[in-house]
């Protein structure tokens, strides 16, 4: 059985919800898989949350209390901005559940390249329904405009419908927390874990170069695993992230950010622009684990597959292993292999056979 298939089999659990016991079981299986191949992955423990719902619920409540005082929506607007630019100053109060990353290295040297993918899965929500998900970006921008204007609107008669809007949103988020299941996460992101792990196993770093594999937890609740990984990465580490690569057309992100756009920079992006097989995209739909790294100056790149501007089966119960496209997985592996070869001439045990190149740029 190929490494791709073996890793996918390991991750076939009811779910791998952020900071849950099943996320821990997935990491236990992955650690055993790597150790059986002579590697010594180190575990990086940290604490996180099991869902982003309670935080968004609290922000919605603050924004919905504008009929009492404009100070509530002022606090809500500030919290909204911080959260959706990747900052959680309240995290130390909420991050109570154990999670972890796995980090394995091959080779020695002063330069480092890390292959990264997140292990955890998210709860579903009605906005991810296949008939609604293409409007996800528009819904977010509407919420952002209303949230950031709410302190001013709280001084006008519009505070009443606006308060009702955000209180209804809080009720929907509460319903999600009480009843919504975690998805199985075949595409998001067993696909990325499988490709990153297979590429790591087949690639031999040359002398003077370190190759790393970082499998992260709690990506779905604020890229908490990536933030916990930061102190363990040498300065200037190149980070190639794989997320949602199990079906659809292959893209490389040129940057990301839901509110503030953070452009990627560095050799990985330049290599991707010269490597046929993927199209560029300015990713504004959500965030990747690369966001906190790019914000801190690390040269990063994310590979993602999209259908109609969104990842297939994104956070919906249809995100199962049965819906993965084996050819998409193999073509992603081939493209990533070509990318590494173009980047630093890393020798691989397998030939590079990426799919054909596309044209143009998209912005979901």
Q: What is the pLDDT of residue 208?
A: 78
Q: Over 50: is that where the pLDDT of 113 sits?
A: yes
205 vs 344, residue with greater confidence = 205
CA dihedral (359, 360, 363, 364) positive or negative: negative
What pLDDT is stored for residue 198 in this prediction?
A: 98
pLDDT in tens, 294-327: 999 999 999 999 999 999 999 999 999 999 999 9
Judged against a pLDDT cut of 50, whether residue 356 lies above it is answered with no
Is 175's pLDDT higher than 90? Answer: yes
Per-residue tokens: 193: 């874990």
Task: Output the CA–CA distances (angstroms, integers) from residue 53 to 169, 171, 241, 243, 341, in the order listed.
Answer: 11, 11, 25, 22, 41
Q: What is the pLDDT of residue 343?
A: 83
**Tens digit of each residue's pLDDT (9 = 90 or more) over 213-262:** 999 999 999 999 999 999 999 999 999 999 999 999 999 999 999 999 99
pLDDT attached to residue 345: 60
Residue 87 has pLDDT above 90, yes or no: yes
Residues 6+ positions from 302 with CB-CB distance below 8 Å? 240, 241, 242, 243, 252, 253, 256, 264, 283, 288, 290
Res. 355 pLDDT band, cuts 50 70 90: very low
Q: In percent, how much of the chain has pLDDT > 90?
A: 91
Domain ranges of the chain: 3-49+99-124+184-344, 53-88+129-179
In this prediction, residues 43-67 reach a mean pLDDT of 98
Confidence check: pLDDT of 57 > 80: yes
pLDDT at res. 360: 55
Q: pLDDT tens digits for 91-106?
A: 999 999 999 999 999 9
Q: What pLDDT sits at residue 138?
A: 96
Q: Is 190 a residue whose pLDDT tops 80? A: yes
Report which DSSP code applies to 348: B
Instruction: For the chain, give percent helix, strand, coil, nearest 5.
Output: 45, 20, 35
> What kind of architecture, by CATH, is found in domain 3-49+99-124+184-344?
3-Layer(aba) Sandwich (3.40)
pLDDT over 90 at 348, yes or no:
no
Judge whether 53 and 176 are in contact, CB under 8 Å: yes
Give the separation between CA 180 and CA 298, rounded to whole angstroms.
35
Measured CA to CA, the distance from residue 209 to residue 233 in angstroms comes to 14
How many CA atoms lie within 13 Å of 242's alpha carbon, on the beta-carbon side?
35
Res. 357 pLDDT band, cuts 50 70 90 = very low
Res 350 pLDDT > 50: no
Q: Per-residue pLDDT tens for 128-139?
A: 999 999 999 999
pLDDT 10s digits, 62-82: 999 999 999 999 999 999 999
Whether the per-residue pLDDT at 149 is higher than 70: the answer is yes
Round the average pLDDT of the chain to a whole number and report it: 94
Give the separation between CA 336 and CA 250, rounded to whole angstroms. 11
Mean pLDDT of 159-181: 98
């Amino acid at each position: 059985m190929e490494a791709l298939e073996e890793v996918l089999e390991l991750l076939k659990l009811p779910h791998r919800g952020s900071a849950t016991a099943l996320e821990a079981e997935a990491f236990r299986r992955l650690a055993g898989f790597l150790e059986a191949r002579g590697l010594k992955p180190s575990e990086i423990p940290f604490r996180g949350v099991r869902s982003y719902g309670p935080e968004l619920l609290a922000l919605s409540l603050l924004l919905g209390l504008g009929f009492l005082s404009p100070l509530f929506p002022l606090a809500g607007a500030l919290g909204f901005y911080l959260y959706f630019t990747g900052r959680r100053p309240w995290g130390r109060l909420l991050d109570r559940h154990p999670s972890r990353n796995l980090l394995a290295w091959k080779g020695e040297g002063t330069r480092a390249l890390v292959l990264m993918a997140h292990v955890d899965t998210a709860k579903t929500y009605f906005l991810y329904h296949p008939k609604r998900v293409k409007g996800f970006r528009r819904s977010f921008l509407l919420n952002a405009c209303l949230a950031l204007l709410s302190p001013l609107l709280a001084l006008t008669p519009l505070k009443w419908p606006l308060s009702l809007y955000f209180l209804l949103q809080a009720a929907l988020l509460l319903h999600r927390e009480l009843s919504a299941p975690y998805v199985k996460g075949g595409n998001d992101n067993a696909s990325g874990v499988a490709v990153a792990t297979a590429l790591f196993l087949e690639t031999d770093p040359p002398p003077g170069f370190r190759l790393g594999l970082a499998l992260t937890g709690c990506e779905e609740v604020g890229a908490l695993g990536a933030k916990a990984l930061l102190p363990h990465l040498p300065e200037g580490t190149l980070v190639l992230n794989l997320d949602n690569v199990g079906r659809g057309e292959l893209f490389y992100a040129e940057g990301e950010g839901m509110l503030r756009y953070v452009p990627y920079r560095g050799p990985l992006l330049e290599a991707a622009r010269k490597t046929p097989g993927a199209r560029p995209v300015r990713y504004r739909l959500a965030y990747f684990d690369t966001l906190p790294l790019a914000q801190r100056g690390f040269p990063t790149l994310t590979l993602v597959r999209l259908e109609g501007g969104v990842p297939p089966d994104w956070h919906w119960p249809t995100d199962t292993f049965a819906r993965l496209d084996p050819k998409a997985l193999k073509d992603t592996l081939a493209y990533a292999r070509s990318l590494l070869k173009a980047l630093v001439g890393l020798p691989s045990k397998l030939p590079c056979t990426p799919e054909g190149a596309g044209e143009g740029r998209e912005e979901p």
